[in-house]
Amino acid sequence: MKKIVIASSNNHKISEISSQINSYFNSVLSLSDFPQIGEIIEDGTTIEENSFIKSRVAFNHTKLPAVADDTILEVDYLNGDPGLFTARYAGKNASYLENMNKLLKNLSGIDKKNRTARFKTVISYVDGKNDFHVEGVLEGRILESMTGSNGFGYDPIFYCSSHHMSLAQMTESMKNEISHRAIAIRKFVNKIKLILNEED
């Protein structure tokens, strides 16, 4: 098992995941290498289902081990929204900025203590026999305005409680140490190493 497919076309996600798993595989591919797969419809009712939909489609098409992640942002004051609609909160094909602006508008005037939120990432892996998933969670709150210029998605308005700054104020290496996706990737790597050792 020397090849793996990341079931994503998002360059930010591909970069974050591949940087952590490159050393375990001869080749790390993505959906960009398989344009015939097309858009994958994520119609699951949970974050776990949506992650597995992507990894299973990629595996079924390529017959290569596939990994996918799905990330949601849960805001307590909004009863867990954006949730499954995190990527399209302001509508289908909405930009990062449009999603952030809608969230800021929906929290307008809400006190800091009531803006608690968390990012959750589920990473799923499918190879036909060792299917599994892992989860990473990062607690924080939603800021009143965008702060910082790094990262992507909701990073400029997500304040990381443990580091007293927004995700967009962090360097890439710092974010890759503490983020929800980083936590999930570390769990994924620990499991994939066991699978690779058994196959060797």
Model confidence at 176, pLDDT cuts 50, 70, 90, reads confident
Which pLDDT does position 200 carry in this prediction?
64
Q: Does the pLDDT value for residue 13 go beyond 90?
A: no
Which pLDDT does position 90 carry in this prediction?
96
- The 10s digit of each residue's pLDDT in 65-101 is 999 999 999 999 999 999 999 999 999 889 999 999 9
Average pLDDT (22-49) is 92
Residue from 43, 69, 70, 131 carrying the catalytic annotation: 70
Which pLDDT does position 160 carry in this prediction?
96
This prediction has a pTM of 0.90
Residues 179 and 156: their CA atoms lie apart, in Å, by 14
Which pLDDT does position 138 carry in this prediction?
96
Average pLDDT, the chain: 93
Amino acid at site 138: L
Which domains can be identified in the chain, with CATH numbers? 3-199 (3.90.950.10)
Which pLDDT does position 5 carry in this prediction?
97
Which pLDDT does position 1 carry in this prediction?
54
For every residue of the chain, which 3-state class applies, written as one string?
Answer: CCEEEECCCCHHHHHHHHHHHHHHCCEEEEHHHCHHHCCCCCCCCCHHHHHHHHHHHHHHHHCCCEEEEEEEEEEHHHCCCEECCHHHCCCCCCCHHHHHHHHHHHCCCCCHHHCEEEEEEEEEEECCCCCEEEEEEEEEEECCCCCCCCCCCCHHHEEECCCCEEHHHCCHHHHHHHCHHHHHHHHHHHHHHHHHHHHC
Lowest-confidence region among 18-27, 129-138, 161-170: 18-27
Average pLDDT (24-41) is 92
Which pLDDT does position 195 carry in this prediction?
86
Which pLDDT does position 188 carry in this prediction?
94
The proportion of the chain whose per-residue pLDDT surpasses 70, expressed as a percent, equals 99
Amino acid at site 89: Y
70 is catalytic: yes
